[in-house]
């Protein structure tokens, strides 16, 4: 399977890709403030690339539960020096994590090739045009509500079915606006407007979304649902993250968005090897 992202072709094959997170923010839930200056964020991005990240996702506006939106000027002030410098320094694809079309366009002009929009192109009516005209890759994420309100008692009758229906509607929306299906990646939005049961159910039935024929991006790294299960604070959730990442790989995830690239790269490689072997053995037995 491939993703077309501007002039890049990104292959998502048997070994899922690892996307390293670069938060240029003072308030992100895990590493807010650590890389808030351009210099620190650039160093961190280059370190993640050295650790083997297949992609980098750079964002300058926190979307943690309860977070407030920032204005376009502030987002660009934080983001652009980092995207510009990192795009010149690394060869791996860069994704920009934003809901604002003007910010996305500027980042794409500076060297990013993917737009990771947690609103799935709903927050800004111009975002679809930006993706269509630039040919950028795009991540469509499911979120119930907005970052500021999404954890205020989210309710689903059938979380897997409702997320699947959301994907169907959003893919149709994109195609009707000139965005190719080969530009699209899908993210079920773990932790975005979901309670513990919803997150666990989505991960347990992740293979449902493989039927869309597009790479499934999963972001579980260090999130609060892991803390709820293992009883650990955010800085001590690496083992729980590893378990969730391995499960996601076995269920068909094609891209894993993580904070700790070196460790999770090994988790992904091992889980993918087991999954491939199990699939090959099953095919031989049924031949």
Contact of 186 with 217, CB cutoff 8 Å: yes
Q: How far apart are CA 256 and CA 254, in angstroms?
A: 7
| Dihedral of alpha carbons 83, 68, 186, 179, sign | negative
Nearest 5°: CA angle at 217, between 177 and 63? 85
Tokens of 96: 């920009």
> Is 257 part of the annotated catalytic residue set?
yes
Cα separations (Å) of 116 from 41, 91, 127, 139, 247?
18, 19, 11, 5, 23
Contact of 87 with 42, CB cutoff 8 Å: no
Residue 286: CB partners within 8 Å, gap ≥ 6? none
The single residue of 170, 237, 257, 265 carrying the catalytic annotation is 257
> Is 223 part of the annotated catalytic residue set?
yes
Burial of 6 (0-12, 13-18, 19+ CB in 10 A): middle
Q: How far apart are CA 141 and CA 99, in angstroms?
A: 11
The single residue of 15, 76, 194, 223 carrying the catalytic annotation is 223
CA 75, chain centre distance (Å): 19
Which are the catalytic amino acids? Answer: 223, 257
């Amino acid at each position: 399977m491939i993703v077309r992202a501007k002039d890049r072709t990104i292959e998502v094959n048997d070994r899922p890709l690892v996307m390293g997170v670069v938060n240029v923010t003072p308030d992100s839930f895990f590493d807010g403030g650590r890389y808030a200056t351009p210099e620190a964020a650039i160093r961190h991005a280059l370190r993640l690339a050295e650790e083997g990240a297949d992609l980098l996702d750079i964002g300058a506006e926190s979307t943690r539960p309860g977070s407030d939106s920032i204005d376009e000027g502030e987002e660009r002030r934080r983001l652009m020096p980092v995207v510009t410098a990192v795009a010149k320094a690394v060869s791996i694809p860069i994704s920009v994590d934003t809901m604002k079309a003007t910010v996305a366009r500027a980042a794409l002009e500076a060297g990013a090739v993917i737009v990771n929009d947690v609103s799935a192109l709903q927050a800004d009516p111009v975002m679809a045009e930006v993706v269509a005209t630039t040919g950028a890759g795009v991540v469509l994420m499911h979120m119930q509500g907005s970052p500021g309100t999404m954890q205020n008692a989210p309710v689903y009758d059938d979380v897997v079915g409702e997320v699947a229906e959301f994907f169907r509607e959003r893919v149709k929306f994109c195609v009707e606006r000139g965005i190719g299906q080969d530009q699209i990646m899908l993210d079920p939005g773990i932790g975005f407007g979901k309670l513990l049961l919803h997150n666990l159910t989505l991960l347990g039935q992740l293979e449902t979304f493989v039927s869309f024929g597009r790479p499934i991006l999963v972001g579980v790294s260090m999130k609060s649902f892991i803390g709820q299960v293992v009883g650990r604070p955010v800085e001590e959730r690496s083992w729980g993250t590893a378990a969730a990442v391995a499960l996601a790989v076995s269920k068909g995830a094609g891209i894993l968005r993580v904070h700790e690239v070196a460790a999770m790269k090994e988790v992904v490689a091992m889980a993918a090897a087991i999954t491939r072997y199990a699939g090959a053995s099953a095919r031989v037995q049924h031949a």
